[in-house]
Structure 1
Amino acid sequence: ILSLFSSDLQKIQKVIDIALKHDKRIAIIGRKAQRIVDIAIDYNYLAIPKDRLVNLRYIDDKNKNDDPDLVCLVTGDRHEPFHMLNRMVNKSDRLIHITEDDTLLIIVSPIPGTEKMAAKTLDTLYRTDANIYVIDKAYLTLNHATSDEIKMMINLTKPKYIMPVTGEYRKQFTVREIAKSMGYKEEDVFLLDNGDLLQFDNGKPITQKNRYRHGDILIDGSRLGDVNDIVIHDREMLADNGVFIITAHIDPLAKSLVGEIDVSMKGFLPKETFLELKDELFILFKEKVNEHLLNKYVNWNELKNQLRDEINKFLYAKTKRRPVTVVVLISTEQSENDKNMQT
């Protein structure tokens, strides 16, 4: 099993030549890779006898794809070779399950941003006791074009303007320097960031910075990208510190608390820990409610906001945590019978 980048046709051909020399059959893993190989064969970029190519069948109880004379090319772009190997070693791939009888040759190095995933995959591979050989990246050629190749492309196409796309900014900057060394003016080579706009008005280039919004988009259920920052912040708070809900019934006519104060929590504190704070918190709660009820007119929103602020201060002082606090005040008018029973 060999891992390669699907764009590295020269290396793929060398592997195939060695495999054919030892009378091995060849399987190309990955639909995209198969399409690339088919096109490369049609245009004579690759020379592979059709009778040596194997289409693997799905693994089941009757078929294990165990063939000692089979060479599998696991190819793809960016993270795909390591991702496919990870599926194979975890036996979630439908075509190949890696065992201790297999030999693996890793001829790709992790690209920036995928190092952690690649390291985890390699660690899992070594646990299978398979024969694993990792080619050091110092011996691997880069898939990026050299400066001479970029110069050749510019000479062949002779563009009026040049705009490097994709890749890191420092690499795009290098392309601009190469173009300048060939006689291009700096204003004829455009380095754009995500969201920038380049348009031509009567042949004259015009750029606009930050013309379009860009970045990560949150898919929330069936809705796309309509979750605002406040909602995201609340969800982060819920995940970090949980939620604290306190509920009380108030008789607006008698201007008094009715019944017991109820508290429910999720992801905040164990009930046993809260019991140590309960009495002190309830005293604070009743004091703040009674202060407002002494007023001729009670502003319920103001009361809830003040209760939430006071509870947050109290909980942080005692626990050093800031849960999402929800205060629920329910208007409950007592009947005369209820009042007599309480008396």
Structure 2
Amino acid sequence: MFLKFYNLREQPFGTTPNPRFLYPSVVHREALASLICGIESNLGFAALVAEPGMGKTTLLFHVLTRLKNSARTAFLFETQCSSQSLLRYLLAELCVPTTDPDPVVLHEKFKQVLCEESRMGRRVVVIIDEAQNLDAKVLETVRLLSDFETPEAKLLHIILVGQPQFAKQLGCPKMSQLLQRIPMMNFLRPLEPREVTEYVDHRLRVAGYSGPQLFTTSALERIVELSDGVPRKINRICFNALSLGCALATKQIERSQIDEVGTDLDLGLLLNNVKASHPVSVGAAVSIPDVPPKAGETPTAGIGQVGNVTRTENVIPQSTHAAPETIGRVVATTEDARRIQRCMFP
């Protein structure tokens, strides 16, 4: 593990959405301010839209941290459900026991929670993640939940969080009533090149690093190119770069190491795609077309030529360097196998 080697207290580029590591980019600051303002102003609804890996969940956990002493909160992740299931899920997240499946009873229990919290001067804030998975009936249930109010204020604040297709869903005519109730729509975009550098430094400092610049300027420039400014991609690149640097006993990460990591991650993406479309048993021999062994060599079993691979959005960064139209890399050497292993099992 590279934590001790680089004098780090904790993992700086982990996959968990730790709010302490939130980097305050311009768009993240604006979205955070908008969400908090909407809650404090009792607007009832807000929406946050972004591509996967943009830091939505980390931002929302930061919001929950800000609200822990002033609101009762629920964070719903599983959104492929019916209206009744959503109500039971919501009550469970609010620690309200339920046994009666009757929707009327569930609504009444939820209303009691809202009124009780209102009497205590506390808000109830519900965050619904992956909102693009909610069907029209469930979204209508969500809209009706926002009807709970007093003459003075809304009793419930709902934050709908989703990918860009959710914004398109809201634009449909049948969603007009819900859209009219959302006064704030926030969008997260990729980090600017300067922000990528600051993001890397920020996470290292939060993790306890206090030494000289760990990634060279050239290495950071390469991270900008490979990551497209997407935080999740930056984390994957940096995690693998630190793992490689530790293995090589280098105290500073160079551009060449970022290049190698980029190649490793691209190979991992290809391998995942091949495994998904052409499952192969472990240890099985696979024919390698158009790559005959040299004279005197023993053919090595491996993964054959990969063609027509469709790249999809993935947590694995996609390299923008030296990518030929026809991908024909053969994974057959021990070094390639090690690189694949580092990529898939960091």
TM-score by length of 1: 0.33
TM-score by length of 2: 0.33
- Larger relative contact order, structure 1 or 2 (CA cutoff 8 Å, min sep 6): 2
Larger radius of gyration: 1
Structure holding more strand per residue = 1
